[in-house]
Amino acid sequence: MKALLLVISSGLGTGYLPFAPGTWGTLVAALVYWFILPDNALLISLTALLLIIISVIVSGAAEKIYGVIDDSRIVIDEWAGYFVSVLFLPHTLRYAISAFVLFRIFDVFKPLGIRTLQSLPGGWGVTIDDIAAGVATNLLLQSLRFGVGR
């Protein structure tokens, strides 16, 4: 059970890669989105919701195993955040890549008060900042898509 929890929390092992594990985790999530999930808003929404729930539960448990708060090996939160970033966007390569790049920027730099969300306890603190980065990414892409501000 412990091994399965670590495989899930590490985004199928990408969290163990030595350089930028969050970026690798996000890349695998993007590949799953692009190559495995069909262009179906309901399925993508359910996947995002499921990933958020799994991330909160598994991240909190993985923190206890690692003995480190928000350990870099935990990247399931990046999966959840990426799927939030592509919600209700056209299933095109342009949006998939744009979401990847923008999500990583928002996740790394944590503007707009996103950083303060990490102070929540356990899996919530690990996951919620990535969800906020995903929301910021999605809002930016939706505003560009619909020409808000033109």
Cα 20 to Cα 4, 25, 69, 81: the distances in Å are 22, 9, 17, 16
Whether the pLDDT of residue 150 is over 60: the answer is no
For residue range 27-85, list pLDDT tens digits in order.
Answer: 999 999 999 999 999 999 999 999 999 999 999 999 999 999 999 999 999 999 999 99
State the pLDDT at residue 54. Answer: 98
Domain limits of the chain? 2-145
Mean pLDDT, the chain, rounded, equals 96
- The sign one gets for the Cα dihedral 140, 143, 149, 150 is positive
Concatenated DSSP letters of 7-66 = HHHTTTTGGGSSS-HHHHHHHHHHHIIIIIS-S-HHHHHHHHHHHHHHHHHHHHHHHHHH
According to the model, what pLDDT value does residue 88 have?
A: 97
Q: How far apart are CA 27 and CA 31, in angstroms?
A: 6
d(CA 145, CA 88): 11
Least confident of 60-64, 85-89, 99-103, 112-116: 112-116
CA geometry: angle 15, 135, 67, nearest 5 deg:
30
When pLDDT is averaged across residues 103-130 and rounded to a whole number, the result is 95
Q: What are the φ/ψ torsions at residue 121 (nearest 5 degrees)? A: -75, 150
